[in-house]
C-alpha cells in the first residue's frame, strides 16, 4: 500500500518504497510541462530501483483549475495534503485578478511557512550561455521566502494612510519625506533571518563546500539588511564556531567553511566575473530573487532552473518560471525546470540514485543538442523538439550505458 513520507525528530525523512507525492499541475503551460516531466520521474525510479520503488502521484488543486472546480483559488484541502505528505511538486500558477490574493505562489509559501527558497544553479555541458566561462557556475542560493519585500506593506501615493504615515514620520521621527510619496515597509526579523542562514550553513557543512556568502545592502539599510549580515556572522560563530571561520581570519588552504559577505550590487558583478569563488549564497528575499535569476541566465535560462521551497516540515518543489499563457497547450515550452526540480525532490526524499539518473538524462539530451525551441535557436546544429519529446529524450538517455 502506498504511504506518506514520515519525518524523524532529526528532520531526516523516512520515504517508503511505495510513496504518495501530491502534485499541482499549474496554469498556462503547467499541464504541458507536467505531462512531459512525470514520465521522466517514473522512469528514473523504475530504473534506479529495478521496480522495487514507485511514486503514487496524487493531484491536488490550486490556481485556475481549482477555481473552476471548487470556486477557490487555493483550497484548504490542498494545503492539508501537502502538510501530510511533507513533499510535493508544482507547476507555475497564475496570479488571480481580484479576490484579495496577491500571489498564489506567495500564499502557498506563507500558509506552509516555506521560509527557504533554495535554487541550485550548475552549468550543464553544451548549454548555450551569454558568458564565456559558464562552467565556472556551481552555486546554490538560499533565499529568505517570507519576509523582506514579500511581506512588504505598501500605501499608495496621496492615500489617506500614506499621508498619515508621512505625518507621523516627519513630526514624530524627525524625517523629511515629501508629501505625495508612496510608502512601503519591509520587515526583516532576527528569527526569520537566522533560520534561513542556519539552513544554508548546514548545507555548506554537509556538502563540505568552501564558502558561504551573506548577500546584503547593509551599507545603506543598516538595521534590516545590515542586521541580516551581522546575524549570519553571529550564528556561524556561536553555533558552528568549530567548523566555520570568517573570511578575515581564514588561512591559506582553509579546511573550515569560510563565511563571507558581499554588498548586493557588487555580488551581481561577482557572479559574472568570479563565480568560481562562491558556492553557497544566503540572501534576503529581493537579493536572492534577482541573483538566482541572473545565475540561471548564465546556464540556460529559467527554463532549466530548478528550485524548491522549504519549511522545517514541508518541501514544495516547482518550475521556477511563469505560466507563459501564449504557449499553453502548444507542447512547445521547455520542461527542464520542472524535470530538474523533480531531481532535486528525489534527492531530498533520499532517492539519490533516481535523482542522478534524471540529471544524467538531461545532460545527455543537451549534449546531443536535442532540446526545445528556446535552446535550439541558440545551438548550432540543435535539433528542436516538442516539450513532450524533450521529456522522452531525457528518459531514453538515462540508461547507464
Rounded CA-CA distance 30/94 in Å is 10
Closest CA to 214 of 224, 226, 222, 205: 226
- Say what the pLDDT of residue 12 is: 81
- Say what the pLDDT of residue 132 is: 92
Which listed CATH number (3.40.718.10, 3.90.950.10, 3.40.50.2020, 3.40.50.300) goes with 129-148+186-299?
3.40.718.10
Closest CA to 118 of 317, 275, 269, 259: 317
Q: What is the pLDDT along the chain (401 residues), one digit of tens a residue?
A: 889 988 876 678 999 999 999 999 999 999 999 999 999 999 999 999 999 999 999 999 999 999 999 999 999 999 999 999 999 999 999 988 665 667 899 899 999 999 999 999 999 999 999 999 999 999 999 999 999 988 889 999 999 999 999 999 999 999 999 999 999 999 999 999 999 999 999 999 999 999 999 999 999 999 999 999 999 999 999 999 999 999 999 998 899 999 999 999 999 999 999 999 999 999 999 999 999 999 999 999 989 999 999 999 999 999 999 999 999 999 999 999 999 999 999 999 999 999 999 999 999 999 999 999 999 999 999 999 999 999 999 999 998 65
Q: Hey, do 1-114+308-400 and 129-148+186-299 end up sharing a CATH topology, with the first three levels equal?
A: yes
Q: 394 and 340 in contact (C-beta within 8 Å)?
A: no
Rounded CA-CA distance 260/192 in Å is 20
The domain segmentation of the chain, as residue ranges, is 1-114+308-400, 129-148+186-299, 149-185
Rounded CA-CA distance 98/96 in Å is 6
Q: Residues within the annotated binding site for Mg(2+)?
A: 289
Closest CA to 199 of 123, 127, 283: 283
Fold of 1-114+308-400: Isopropylmalate Dehydrogenase (3.40.718)
Q: Which residues contact 368 (CB under 8 A, 6 or more apart)?
A: 383, 393, 397
Q: Residues within the annotated binding site for D-threo-isocitrate?
A: 103, 105, 109, 119, 143
Rounded CA-CA distance 198/206 in Å is 12
Rounded CA-CA distance 60/129 in Å is 36
17 three-state secondary structure = coil
Q: Residues within the annotated binding site for NADP(+)?
A: 321-327, 334, 373, 377
What is the CA angle 101-146-275, rounded to 5? 120
Rounded CA-CA distance 309/141 in Å is 12
* DSSP annotation of 173: S
Give the sign of the dihedral formed by CA 97, CA 100, CA 102, CA 103: negative
- Residues with catalytic annotation? 150, 217, 265, 289
Amino acid at each position: 500500500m502506498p504511504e506518506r513520507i514520515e519525518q524523524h525528530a532529526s528532520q531526516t525523512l523516512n520515504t517508503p518504497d511505495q510513496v504518495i507525492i501530491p502534485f499541482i499541475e499549474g496554469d498556462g503551460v503547467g499541464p504541458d510541462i507536467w505531462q512531459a516531466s512525470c514520465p521522466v520521474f517514473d522512469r528514473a525510479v523504475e530504473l534506479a530501483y529495478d521496480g522495487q520503488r514507485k511514486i503514487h502521484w496524487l493531484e491536488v488543486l490550486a490556481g485556475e483549475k481549482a477555481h473552476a472546480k471548487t470556486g477557490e483559488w487555493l483550497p484548504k484541502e490542498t494545503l492539508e495534503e501537502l502538510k501530510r505528505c511533507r513533499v510535493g511538486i508544482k507547476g507555475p500558477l497564475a496570479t488571480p485578478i481580484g479576490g484579495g490574493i496577491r500571489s498564489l505562489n506567495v500564499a502557498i509559501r506563507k500558509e506552509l511557512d516555506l521560509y527557504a527558497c533554495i535554487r541550485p544553479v550548475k552549468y550543464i555541458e553544451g548549454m548555450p550561455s551569454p558568458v564565456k566561462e559558464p562552467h565556472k557556475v556551481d552555486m546554490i542560493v538560499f533565499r529568505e521566502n517570507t519576509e523582506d519585500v514579500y511581506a512588504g506593506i505598501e500605501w499608495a501615493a496621496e492615500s489617506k494612510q500614506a499621508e498619515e504615515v508621512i505625518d507621523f514620520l516627519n513630526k514624530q521621527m524627525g524625517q523629511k519625506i515629501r508629501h505625495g510619496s508612496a510608502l512601503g515597509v519591509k520587515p526583516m526579523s532576527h528569527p526569520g533571518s537566522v533560520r534561513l542562514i542556519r539552513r544554508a550553513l548546514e548545507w555548506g557543512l554537509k556538502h563540505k563546500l568552501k564558502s558561504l556568502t551573506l548577500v546584503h545592502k547593509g551599507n545603506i539599510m543598516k538595521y534590516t539588511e545590515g542586521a541580516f549580515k551581522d546575524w549570519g556572522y553571529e550564528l556561524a560563530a556561536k553555533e558552528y564556531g568549530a567548523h566555520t571561520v570568517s573570511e578575515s581570519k581564514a588561512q591559506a588552504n582553509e579546511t573550515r567553511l569560510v563565511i563571507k559577505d558581499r554588498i548586493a550590487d557588487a555580488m551581481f558583478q561577482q557572479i559574472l566575473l568570479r563565480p568560481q569563488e562562491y558556492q553557497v549564497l544566503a540572501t534576503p528575499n529581493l537579493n536572492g530573487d534577482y541573483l538566482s535569476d541572473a545565475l540561471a541566465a548564465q546556464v540556460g535560462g529559467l527554463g532549466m532552473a530548478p528550485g524548491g521551497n522549504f519549511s522545517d516540515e514541508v518541501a514544495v518543489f516547482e518550475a521556477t518560471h511563469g505560466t507563459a499563457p501564449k504557449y499553453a497547450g502548444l507542447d512547445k515550452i521547455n520542461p527542464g525546470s520542472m524535470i530538474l526540480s523533480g531531481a532535486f525532490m528525489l534527492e531530498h526524499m533520499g532517492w539519490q540514485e533516481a535523482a542522478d539518473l534524471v540529471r544524467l538524462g538531461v545532460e545527455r539530451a543537451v549534449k546531443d543538442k536535442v532540446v526545445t525551441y528556446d535552446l535550439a535557436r541558440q545551438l548550432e546544429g540543435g535539433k528542436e523538439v516538442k516539450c513532450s519529446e524533450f521529456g522522452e529524450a531525457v528518459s531514453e538517455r538515462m540508461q547507464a550505458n
